[in-house]
Amino acid sequence: AKKKPAKPFNLTSTELKKKIIHHLHTTLGTHEDKANDKAWWNATCAAVNELVFDQLTNTQKTHAKKDTRAVNYLSLEFLMGRLLSNNLHNLELFKEAQSALKSLGKDIYEVCEEEPDMALGNGGLGRLAACFIDSLATLDYPAIGYGIHYEHGLFRQEFKDGHQIERPDSWREYGNPWEICRPESVQEVPLYGYVETVIDDDGSMRKVWHPSRKLKGVPWDIPIVGYGAKLVNVLRLWESKPGEAFDWDVFNAGGYVDAQAEKAQAETVSKVLYPNDSTPQGKELRLIQQYFFCACSVKDIIRRFKRANQDWSVFPDKVAIQLNDTHPAVAVPELMRILMDEEGMNWQQAWEISSQTFAYTNHTLLPEALENWPVAMFEHVLPRHLEIIYEINRRFLENEVEAKWPGDDAMKRKLSIIQEGDERMVRMAYLSVVSSYKVNGVAAIHTRLVKKDLFPEFNDLYPEKIVNVTNGVTPRRWLKAANPELAALYDDTVGVDWPTNLHKLKDALPLADDAKFQKKFMSIKRKNKEKLVTEIAKLTGVEVSADAIFDIQIKRLHEYKRQQLNLIHILTLYRRLLENPDLDMVPRVFIFGAKAAPGYHMAKQIIFALNKIADKVNNDNRIQDKLKVVFMPNYRVSLAEKLIPAADVSEQISTAGLEASGTGNMKLALNGALTVGTLDGANIEIAEEVGDDNIFIFGLDVDQVEAVKTNGYNPFDYYYSNPELKAVLDWLDTDFFTPGQPGALSDIKKSLLDWGDQYLCLADYQSYCDAQNEVDVTYRDKKLWAKKAIINSATMGKFNSDRSIQDYVDTIWHLEKCPVKG
């Protein structure tokens, strides 16, 4: 093993301890004898911030002085999770903090448990943004993340009689030590009103927007410490407040109460994160949220640009703006509006700049996920922006589409940013493609399908525009911090620089067959499983054994992700066990974590069914603990950090062609889980890395799915020809799992039969059962399993989010590194 490079901060645990105590006294106003864990957590955060804020100031000075090109990552979601342990790891001070707290009688893991998750996102898209800002800082790239400072993040999930109940999340109810308010950078956001056309004396025409309301955007900065703490970037989140001018007239006229109502209305804009993952709600508040944070961010970007530049033509050289899905696409007409209406440019000048500034990442192919806004609503909220979108569309259709497909009106209708029909709609994806210089998918297969199925004509029109950047995850959070023992084993085996060069893990491959290494690797897995056993008991009351296979499916609840396929396989095993209690099977614990969108009926039904099945299975002593089912409540980043290191099997079982990438699959494999998966998203690339022998692939591939669908899929064919499948589905119609309530689970059966089984669960059922049987057979051979687990972990180098970021830099952003001295 190599010698460790110099640490960013040469702080001893004694010095850190002094700082913690100092902050306990002066920042928290309490004392060692009185302080609870929350106070210790706060004091430790404050001690860490001393170092972070210093380096933040250094970074901002350096970046301002050098005026280097930066990427502005616009995202409605940043699913950050907890920051203390991550920041300590990135500062390389975790061990020091651990012993400092230990000498104060505190366990660092318990102290870290005090931190509420920053759950400002739904799932994959939001967590990807969080990994990306970590990697950008680690790689010394100047970057700002822009988002919304939601008062309430994703709801907290509880179960009541097996049903999901949503409770508000209040992550900063008692303050948040990581954020700094920047009142000097407040922005104003106009809304509603009308557009006036003004003819000037020289005969020229200009547009003046007279908004009828104004909001204020207050920025909160969260420092993002890269690994090694060389550079500290910023995540800037906007909070909405009433505009400056609003209340005085009403207030003076005795309208104190009305003024309060208007204030409350303005604050609604950043009040709560929409909990929908994939199905947009066409609500006016959502559009206002999008515009609110885009308007603040674009103004902020321009303010920074103007600080160092007079010449607008260099704007695209200095500024890249990445749209994390179409949610921030309204930033395009906003930049155009400012350049024309406020900076006095003509259309060509403004478009020249704007169309070289934006790039767009697509994260989903699901047709129902594509954002379309009713034209009428758009016009009501943002009249000037609608005009600009019309003009972008007119020029696009009359120039580009006409040149490529002359006289083809059907093509114009097809590609129009405005969808005609009973209710006219603005297609945000088309706006994003037309307005961006690059568009990317998030895994190889996904990008191929984006080109072939989602935007084929755009791909013909702009053959170089659509590119692939396969997703990745930060190995700092998802291995070093989440699985400290495995991280230490890798330190000893391959050297300590794997956190920045994950390909290094490959150096452990020759040991995959080595009995001693296997023993070390698997005893770490065992310890992680034992810890999870305790956590499961604490959170669900279910007792499970670490001898069993821990089979984990953690992700948002969605029919395309097919938790229901997992469910019917569990019923299959249960039924086999009831028919033959002596059945020779390796005990298995099926563990789920998932939130359902509050309005998504089927998703909630699947949660309910899994909870009911869990009740029954876990309390059935006929089956000798061979089968357990656990649904962990309130799945979130900090729970993922406990589940992933303890997984033997990772379930990645979406219908082929529907999971854009998946990133949980990468985290689980990195921690030594074997994947049961379809040839979908990043699974395909994971299979390439680990080799076909080390992954359990099943089911239809993308081409076969397409063929089955065109030939007319009939789930009843499978139902009638597979007696075991039929028996299991019929079981759902009884009251076996819901005593006294027959039919309570019938919707699941219906969705798989009468309603057409849109996601082809029955077509993949047998193949899935076979793959699961393979898992059982393979696990019996302890050495073989260990070898496969090691190979999985050691070959995940490609899925480092540093590699993703470097791909973005090379193909889209073209940034230069801007290192900062300590």
Footprint on this chain of ligand 26W (rule: CB under 6 A): 122-125, 128, 276-280, 325, 363-364, 369, 371, 442, 471, 659-663, 681
> For ligand 26W, which is the closer residue by CB, 486 or 812?
812
> For ligand 26W, which is the closer residue by CB, 242 or 280?
280
**Among the options 667, 749, 787, 803, which is catalytic?**
667
DSSP 736-784: SSSTT-TTTTHHHHHHHTTT--TT-HHHHHHHHHHHHHHHHHHHHSHHH
- Least Å distance, CB 136 to ligand 26W, is 16
* DSSP H helix total and E strand total for the chain: 34, 25
**Among the options 561, 612, 628, 749, which is catalytic?**
561
Q: What pairing do the DSSP bridges indicate for beta strands 425-427 and 372-374? A: antiparallel
Establish whether 663 is a catalytic residue: yes
- Least Å distance, CB 653 to ligand 26W, is 13
H/E element, 468: strand 466-468
> For ligand 26W, which is the closer residue by CB, 187 or 364?
364
- Least Å distance, CB 786 to ligand 26W, is 29
Assigned token pair, 342: 């406020």
Distances (CA, A) of 359 to 141, 324, 812: 17, 9, 8
- Least Å distance, CB 431 to ligand 26W, is 15
Establish whether 588 is a catalytic residue: no
Taking residue 204's Cβ as centre, other Cβ atoms within 10 Å add up to 9
CB-based contacts of 275: which residues, under 8 Å, 6+ apart?
Answer: 122, 154, 155, 166, 595, 597, 598
- Least Å distance, CB 703 to ligand 26W, is 20
Establish whether 531 is a catalytic residue: no
> For ligand 26W, which is the closer residue by CB, 28 or 128?
128
Establish whether 561 is a catalytic residue: yes
Establish whether 476 is a catalytic residue: no
CA angle 580, 543, 558 (to 5 degrees): 80
> For ligand 26W, which is the closer residue by CB, 87 or 650?
650
> For ligand 26W, which is the closer residue by CB, 372 or 540?
372
> For ligand 26W, which is the closer residue by CB, 288 or 369?
369
- Least Å distance, CB 753 to ligand 26W, is 26
- Least Å distance, CB 812 to ligand 26W, is 15
Core vs surface per residue 543-582: b (16+ CB within 10 A) or e = ebebebbbbbbbbbbbbbbbbbbbbbbbbbbbebbeeeee
Cα–Cα distance for residue pair 167/434, rounded to 1 Å: 40
- Least Å distance, CB 491 to ligand 26W, is 29
- Least Å distance, CB 649 to ligand 26W, is 19
Beta-bridge partner residues of 10:
none
Cα end-to-end span (Å), the chain: 27
**Among the options 327, 363, 384, 628, which is catalytic?**
363
Establish whether 363 is a catalytic residue: yes
- Least Å distance, CB 428 to ligand 26W, is 9
CB 354 within 8 A of CB 389: no
Q: Phi and psi dihedrals of 468, rounded to 5?
A: -105, 140
Which residue blocks in 467-514 are alpha helix, DSSP H?
475, 484-494
Assigned token pair, 211: 């908004």
Cα–Cα distance for residue pair 625/547, rounded to 1 Å: 11
**Among the options 138, 474, 663, 678, which is catalytic?**
663
CB 187 within 8 A of CB 293: no
> For ligand 26W, which is the closer residue by CB, 623 or 682?
682
678 closest CA partner among 707, 657, 708, 664: 657
154's torsion region: left (phi>0), alpha (psi -120 to 50) or beta? beta
Grouping H, G, I as helix, E, B as strand and the rest as coil, residue 674 is: strand
Cα–Cα distance for residue pair 535/722, rounded to 1 Å: 38
- Least Å distance, CB 135 to ligand 26W, is 14
**Among the options 477, 525, 555, 787, which is catalytic?**
555
232 closest CA partner among 243, 247, 221: 221
> For ligand 26W, which is the closer residue by CB, 124 or 223?
124
- Least Å distance, CB 237 to ligand 26W, is 18
Taking residue 156's Cβ as centre, other Cβ atoms within 10 Å add up to 20
> For ligand 26W, which is the closer residue by CB, 442 or 646?
442
Q: Phi and psi dihedrals of 790, rounded to 5?
A: -65, -45
Cα–Cα distance for residue pair 673/649, rounded to 1 Å: 5
**Sheet containing strand 674-677, strands side by side:** 627-632, 588-593, 549-554, 649-652, 674-677, 696-697
> For ligand 26W, which is the closer residue by CB, 277 or 764?
277
> For ligand 26W, which is the closer residue by CB, 379 or 680?
680
641 closest CA partner among 112, 139, 168, 177: 112
Cα–Cα distance for residue pair 359/323, rounded to 1 Å: 6
662 closest CA partner among 556, 591, 559: 556
**Among the options 23, 556, 628, 636, which is catalytic?**
556
Residue nearest to ligand 26W (CB): 124
Cα–Cα distance for residue pair 514/527, rounded to 1 Å: 20
> For ligand 26W, which is the closer residue by CB, 662 or 672?
662
- Least Å distance, CB 274 to ligand 26W, is 7
Cα–Cα distance for residue pair 295/289, rounded to 1 Å: 10
Assigned token pair, 376: 């009428």
CB 332 within 8 A of CB 431: yes
- What is the set of active-site residues? 363, 555-556, 561, 663, 667
